[in-house]
Amino acid sequence: MGAAMAGADRIKRRLLREAVRENLAVINGESPAARRMRREASRRWLRRSLLLLVPAAFLGSLLVVGWATGLDPAWVLGTGKPDGRNPGTAEVVPLVPPPTGVAAEREGLAAGQRFGPPAPLDRAALPLPVRTIILDPGHGGHDAGTVGPGNLVEKEIALDVALRLRNLLADQGFAVLMTRERDAAVQLDQRAAFANASAGDLFMSIHVNWIPNQRARGIETYYLGPTDDPFLTQLAAAENRESGYSLSDLKRLLEGIYADIRRDESRRLAEAVNRKLFQSLSLANPRLADRGVKQAPFVVLVATEMPAVLVEVSCLSHQDEARLLADPGYRHLIARALFAGIIDYARTQTAERGSQLHD
Amino acid sequence: MTESNDILYVGIDLGTSRSAVSASNGQRHVVDSYVGWPVDMVARKILKRPVLVGKDALDNRSMLDLRRPLERGLLKEGSERDADAVRQLLKHLLGLVGVGDDGTPGSQVRAVVGVPAEALRVSKQQLRNVMKGLVGSLLIVSEPFAVAYAVDALLHALIIDIGAGTSDLCVMNGRYPTESDQRTLLNAGDWVDDQLFKLIQAHHPEATFSLFMVREWKERAAFVGKAKNPVVVSAPVKGKPTQLDITEELRTACEGLVPPLAETMIDLIAKVDPEYQEKVRNNVILAGGSSGIAGLDKALGEALKDIGGGRVQVVKDPVFAGCDGGLAIATDADESDWEKLTG
> Higher pLDDT residue, A236 or A1?
A236
Q: Do A9 and A76 belong to one domain?
A: no
CA distance B257 to chain A (A): 16
Instruction: Kindly list the strands in the beta sheet with B52-53, ordered across the sheet, starting from the edge strand earlier in the chain.
Output: B52-53, B35-38, B64-67
Same domain, B142 and B10: yes
Q: pLDDT tens across B54-104, in order?
A: 999 988 988 998 888 776 656 665 567 777 888 899 999 999 999 987 778
Closest CA to B59 of B100, B31, B82: B31
d(CA A355, CA A114): 23
Same domain, B9 and B99: yes
**pLDDT interval class at A180 (50, 70, 90):** very high
Domain count, chain A: 3
The reply to whether B297 falls in a domain is no
Which chain A residues are closer than 8 Å to B138 by Cβ? 23
Q: Residue range A167-189: average pLDDT?
A: 88
- In tens, the pLDDT along A242-280 reads 555 555 555 555 555 544 556 778 889 999 999 999 999
Q: At residue B138, does pLDDT exceed 70?
A: yes
Question: Is residue B141 located within the same domain as residue B193?
Answer: no
pLDDT band at A211 (very low <50, low <70, confident <90, very high): confident
B332 in a structural domain: yes
Residues A26 and A38 placed together within one structural domain of the fold: no
User: Does residue A125 fall inside a structural domain?
Assistant: no
For a pLDDT cut of 90, what percent of chain A falls above it? 21
Bridge pairing between strands B64-67 and B35-38: antiparallel
ipTM score above 0.85: no
A127, part of any domain: no
pLDDT > 70 in chain A, percent: 57
Residues from chain A contacting residue B139 (CB–CB below 8 Å): 19-20, 23
Whether the per-residue pLDDT at A49 is higher than 50: the answer is yes
Q: Report the residue of B82, B118, B138, B176 to disrupt the A interface, i.e. the one with the largest count of A CBs within 10 Å.
A: B176
Residue A97 has pLDDT above 90, yes or no: no
Residues of B in contact with A22 (CB under 8 A): 176
Do both A97 and A225 map to the same domain? no
Residues 6+ apart with CB under 8 A from A63: A73, A76, A77
Mean pLDDT score, A277-287: 89
Count of domains for chain B: 2
Domain harbouring B200, CATH code: 3.30.420.40
pLDDT at B57: 92
How high is the mean pLDDT of chain A?
71
**Does A124 map to a domain?**
no
Task: Tell me how crowded residue B205 is: count the other CB atoms within 10 A of its CB.
Answer: 8
Whether residue B29 sits in one domain with residue B120: yes
- State whether B31 and B101 are in the same domain: yes
Percent of chain B at pLDDT exceeding 70: 94
Give residue A159's domain range. 132-353
Locate the chain B residue with the closest alpha carbon to A30: B121
pTM of the model: 0.54
Q: Are residues A233 and A318 in the same domain?
A: yes
**B310 inside domain:** no
pLDDT(B234) > 90: yes
Among B199, B230, B255, residue at a domain's last position: B255
- Whether A126 is in a domain gets the answer no
Percentage of chain B modeled with pLDDT above 90: 55
- Span of B43-47, B124-128, B160-164 with lowest mean pLDDT: B124-128
Q: Which residue has the higher pLDDT, A103 or A292?
A: A292
Q: Is the pLDDT of residue B310 over 80?
A: yes
The domain of B225 spans: 189-255
* Closest-CA residue of chain A to B165: A182
Is residue A107 predicted with pLDDT exceeding 50?
A: no
Q: Does residue A350 register a pLDDT over 80? A: no
